[in-house]
Structure 1
Amino acid sequence: MARFLASERPDDFDAAVSQRALNAISDAEPIPFWTESVDIPDSNPTLVRNEHCDLCIVGGGYTGLWAAVIAKERDPSRDVVLIDKGEVGGAASGRNGGFMESSLTHGVGNGLARHADEIDVLEELGLQNLNQIEAAIERYDIDCGYERTGVIDVAHTGHPASYVDELREEHDTLRSMGQAVDWLDTDAMRAEVDSPTYVAGLFRSGRAALVDPARLAWGLKRVAESLGVRIYEHSKATDVETDGVGTLVTTPLGKIRCAQVVLGTNADKPLLKRVRRYMVPVYDYCLVTEPLTAEQMASIGWEKRQGLSDITNQFHYYRLTADNRILWGGYDAIYYWGSKTSVELESRPETWAKLSEHFFETFPQLEDVAFSHVWGGAIDTSTRFSVFFGSAMQNRVVYAVGYTGLGVAATRFAASTMLDLLQGRKTIATQTDFVRSKPLPFPPEPFRFAGIQATRWSMDREDQHGRRNAWLRTLDRLGLGFDS
Structure 2
Amino acid sequence: MTTSLPTHPLDALADAVPRPLWLDLHDAPEPTPTLTADTTADLVIVGGGYTGLWAALQAKEADPTLDVVLLDADLCGRAASGRNGGFCASSLTHGITNGVERFAAEMPELEAHGLANLDAIEAAVATYGIDCDFRRSGELDVATAPWQLAELERSAALAGALGHDVRMLSAVETRAQVDSPTYLGALEMPRAVAMLDPVGLAHGLRRACSALGVRIHEWTPAQRLSTERGTVVVHTPYGRVRAARALLATNAFPPLLRRLRNYVFPVYDYVLATEPLTPAQLASIGWTNRQGIGDGANQFHYYRLTADNRILWGGYDAVYYYGGPVRAELTVRQETFGTLARHFFATFPQLEDVRFSHRWGGVIDACSRFCPFVGTALGGKVAYAAGFTGLGVGATRFVAGVALDKLYGRYTDRSRLALMNTMPLPLPPEPLRWAGVQLTRWSLQRADAQQGRRNLWLRTLDRMGLGFDS
TM-score after normalising by structure 2: 0.98
Note if 1:51 corresponds to 2:36. no
Which of 85, 89, 106 is the equivalent residue of 1:97? 85
**Equivalent residue pairs, number:** 466
Residue 11 of structure 1 corresponds to which residue in structure 2? Answer: none
Identity %: 54
Note if 1:271 corresponds to 2:259. no
SS at match of 2:319: coil
Residue 54 of structure 2 corresponds to which residue in structure 1? Answer: 66
In the TM superposition, what whole-angstrom CA distance separates every residue of 1:14-68 from its partner, at most 9, and x where no partner exists?
xx98751110001101110000135321111111111100000000000000000
In the TM superposition, residue 446 of structure 1 has moved relative to its aligned partner by 0.6
Residue 81 of structure 1 corresponds to which residue in structure 2? Answer: 69
The 5 A counterparts of 1:50-449 are: 50-156=38-144, 159=145, 161-449=146-434
Tell me, yes or no, if the aligned pair for 1:150 and 1:209 is still in contact at 8 Å: yes
Tell me, yes or no, if the aligned pair for 1:381 and 1:483 is still in contact at 8 Å: no
Tell me, yes or no, if the aligned pair for 1:346 and 1:377 is still in contact at 8 Å: yes
Tell me, yes or no, if the aligned pair for 1:385 and 1:483 is still in contact at 8 Å: no
Tell me, yes or no, if the aligned pair for 1:333 and 1:483 is still in contact at 8 Å: no
Distance 1:136 1:357 in 2: 39
In the TM superposition, what whole-angstrom CA distance separates every residue of 1:312-357 from its partner, at most 9, and x where no partner exists?
1111000000000000000000000011111110110110010000
SS at match of 1:137: helix
Amino acid at match of 1:246: T
Residue 457 of structure 2 corresponds to which residue in structure 1? Answer: 471
SS at match of 2:184: strand
Name whichever of 317-326 and 238-247 sits farther off: 238-247
Amino acid at match of 1:178: G
Tell me, yes or no, if the aligned pair for 1:281 and 1:380 is still in contact at 8 Å: yes
In the TM superposition, what whole-angstrom CA distance separates every residue of 1:199-228 from its partner, at most 9, and x where no partner exists?
010010111100000010000000000000
Amino acid at match of 2:369: R
Distance 2:163 2:434 in 1: 41
Residue 19 of structure 2 corresponds to which residue in structure 1? Answer: 31
Distance 2:162 2:320 in 1: 36
Amino acid at match of 1:35: L
Tell me, yes or no, if the aligned pair for 1:383 and 1:482 is still in contact at 8 Å: no
* Distance change (3 Å), C-alpha of 1:352 and 1:236: same
In the TM superposition, residue 231 of structure 1 has moved relative to its aligned partner by 0.4
Runs of 5+ consecutive residues of structure 2 not aligned to the other structure: none
In the TM superposition, what whole-angstrom CA distance separates every residue of 1:54-94 from its partner, at most 9, and x where no partner exists?
00000000000000000000000000000001000010001
Distance 1:461 1:38 in 2: 41
Distance 1:482 1:121 in 2: 22
Tell me, yes or no, if the aligned pair for 2:98 and 2:468 is still in contact at 8 Å: no
Name whichever of 325-334 and 427-436 sits farther off: 427-436
* Distance change (3 Å), C-alpha of 1:340 and 1:85: same
Superposed CA RMSD: 1.2
Note if 1:22 corresponds to 2:10. yes
Distance 1:46 1:311 in 2: 45
Distance 1:243 1:469 in 2: 52
In the TM superposition, residue 176 of structure 1 has moved relative to its aligned partner by 2.2
SS at match of 1:479: coil
* Distance change (3 Å), C-alpha of 1:191 and 1:18: closer
Amino acid at match of 2:298: N
In the TM superposition, what whole-angstrom CA distance separates every residue of 1:170-219 from its partner, at most 9, and x where no partner exists?
11222222210111100000001000110010010111100000010000
Distance 1:227 1:395 in 2: 26
In the TM superposition, residue 481 of structure 1 has moved relative to its aligned partner by 4.2
In the TM superposition, what whole-angstrom CA distance separates every residue of 1:227-263 from its partner, at most 9, and x where no partner exists?
0000001100010121111100001111000000010
Distance 2:238 2:415 in 1: 36
Amino acid at match of 1:424: G
TM-score after normalising by structure 1: 0.95
Runs of 5+ consecutive residues of structure 1 not aligned to the other structure: 1-15
SS at match of 2:444: helix
Tell me, yes or no, if the aligned pair for 1:53 and 1:79 is still in contact at 8 Å: yes
In the TM superposition, what whole-angstrom CA distance separates every residue of 1:360-414 from its partner, at most 9, and x where no partner exists?
0000000000000000010101111100111100000000001011000000001
SS at match of 1:144: coil
* Distance change (3 Å), C-alpha of 1:291 and 1:453: same
Over 6 Å off, 4+ runs:
none
Distance 1:459 1:347 in 2: 23
Tell me, yes or no, if the aligned pair for 1:404 and 1:483 is still in contact at 8 Å: no
Distance 1:187 1:76 in 2: 54
* Distance change (3 Å), C-alpha of 1:79 and 1:128: same
Tell me, yes or no, if the aligned pair for 2:103 and 2:419 is still in contact at 8 Å: yes
